[in-house]
Structure 1
Amino acid sequence: MRLRWAFWDPVHPDHFWVNPFGVAWPLLKASDLILVNPEGEVVEGGPVRLLNAAAYMIHHAVHEARPEIKCVAHSHSIYGRAFCTLGRNLDTITQDSCAFHNDIALYSSFKGVVLAEDEGIAIAKALGHGKAALLQNHGLLTCARSIEAAVFWFMSLEKCCHAQLLADAAAGGRGGETVKIDDKDAEYTYKTVGTEMAGWFSAKPTFDVMESEAGIDYRW
């Protein structure tokens, strides 16, 4: 899965780092990241300094609207992309989906590749104070106060979309519907699995495995 992500620079808080356009995800290294200023200009980074214009429009708008957010993740992942064609929000049908209870938005519009500032602003507005958004006919977006949590929420949301596609198909084949978790129980579960700390902690083992397999310290 190719994931596009951006995070605030700790020294220049109005700049953000993002993966460059045209570099294959499996080959991407920390040294390949590019630093982008508020005007969308690449001011520092690796040997490939091509900026995806759509990436700038989306990530910059979210960062501007949510200054407390340190990382935004976005991709056109297969199950998220499929689920986003349904024009509906995620159901709380599993413990994992409770992590997004009342914390995920549906952006029910698609106007092509996001190359206009207004479209990026509209996505950020739809996201509101949530940690995730389903972009209709497009893909998934997650955000958090840490890189780890933003990445984990994205991976988890992709799996939740996959699970719901399977569950809806199975239930529909029987002429029924999935069983939803009620709001009270979903909210109770959210307080355990949907917090910022829960996202960071859940991501740590994944990052540890990546570091071990690659022999690289990702704490750059």
Structure 2
Amino acid sequence: MTTLDIPAAQASGSVEDERRHRKQQLAAALRVFGRLGYDEGVAGHITVRDPEDPRRFWVNPFGVSFGRISVKDLVMVDADGEVLEGGRPVNRGAFVIHSAIHDLRPDVVSAAHAHSIHGRALAALGTPLRPVVQEACAFFEDQGVYRDYNGLALETEEGRRMAEALGPHRAVVMRNHGVITVGGSVEEAAYWFVSFDRAAQVQLIAEAAGTPAYLDTDAARVAHSQFGSPALARYSFRILFDDVVHAQPDLLDE
């Protein structure tokens, strides 16, 4: 099968260089989410493991707009939720959800959750994303559905149930709540979220207009092998990164 020639990710070098890279990508991802209208009040968070101690992760602080986050604002917490670096508190829901994901999925470097309009609309239906267009197939047979709703995710047990519903996949649809995506880098997790939300929008429009011609299983699996490439996600996010840094260079302030 012919595939796109995607440049390989370059190693960052030292732990300090890798930490700076991850924090820059995290700040940029939050700015991108803000530009796309994914923020709503205090809701929404993206995390990335610290490269020196994977039991710790960096996250956006509680009560700060996505559109104002810079590298200097990011907060690092440990497995108990204690703030180790940063001068602001952490959203309790962010800790509960992300700590469970990072605990159950050692392969996950970054996780993203926000209350986007189309992701929540799909979640209201309690159904997974369907193979309605080729891009949606990045999630074909690669998403979970969490059908329980127990209010705000403030308890450890609730976060663990969400992480268990995610399973080995790159996304989980949480009924009446929203979507979580994960990846081996901030670039992957953030791009999967953007891609999922756009595909959800297409599905909702197509199903409202009529009966979509969903891709069959074989075709959807082919599309998954192509559009579900982590390398493609990383490279695609690089375009978003370059654009937002060009428009808002202060996000890199340390």
1:94 maps to amino acid: V
Quick one: structure 1 residues 94 and 135, their matched pair in 2 at CA, closer, same or farther if it must change by over 3 Å?
same
> Displacement of 1:24 after TM fit?
1.2
Equivalent residue number for residue 51 of structure 2: 10
Aligned residue number for residue 174 of structure 1 = none
Is the counterpart of residue 109 in structure 1 residue 148 in structure 2? yes
Structure 1 residue aligned with 2:63 = 22
Superposition pairs for residues 148-167 of structure 1, below 5 Å?
Answer: 148-167=187-206
Find the counterpart in structure 2 of residue 195 from structure 1.
Answer: 229
Aligned-partner residue type, residue 49 of structure 2: W
1:44-193 aligned within 5 A = 44-45=85-86, 47=87, 49-171=88-210, 177-193=211-227
What is the CA–CA distance in structure 2 between the aligned matches of 1:145 and 1:205, rounded to whole Å? 18
Q: Distance in 1 between matches of 2:100 and 2:213?
A: 37
- TM value normalised by structure 1: 0.93
SS at match of 1:5: strand
CA 1:219/1:62 → structure 2, altered by over 3 Å: closer, same or farther?
farther
TM-score by length of 2: 0.81
Secondary structure of 2:124's counterpart equals coil
1:84 is paired with a residue whose SS is: helix
Cα distance in 2 between the residues matched to 1:166 and 1:68: 34
RMSD over aligned CA atoms reads 1.4
Matching residue of 1:205: 239
* Superposed displacement of residue 25, structure 1: 1.2
Alignment CA distance shift 1:75-1:161 (3 Å): same
1:217 deviates by 7.1
Task: Give the match's secondary structure for 1:59.
Answer: helix
Q: CA deviation at 1:215?
A: 2.6
Matched letter for residue 181 of structure 1? L
Partner of 1:112: helix, strand, or coil? coil
- Greater relative contact order: 1 or 2 (C-alpha under 8 angstroms, separation 6 or more)? 2
Contact 2:140 2:224 in 1 (8 A): yes
Between the aligned residues of both structures, percent identity stands at 35
Q: How many aligned residue pairs are there?
A: 213
**Gaps spanning 5+ residues in structure 2: where?**
1-37
- After superposition, the Cα gap between the structure-2 partners of 1:62 and 1:219, relative to the gap in structure 1 and judged at 3 Å, is farther
Task: Provide the secondary structure at the position in 2 that maps to 1:14.
Answer: coil
CA distance in 1 between counterparts of 2:74 and 2:136 reads 31
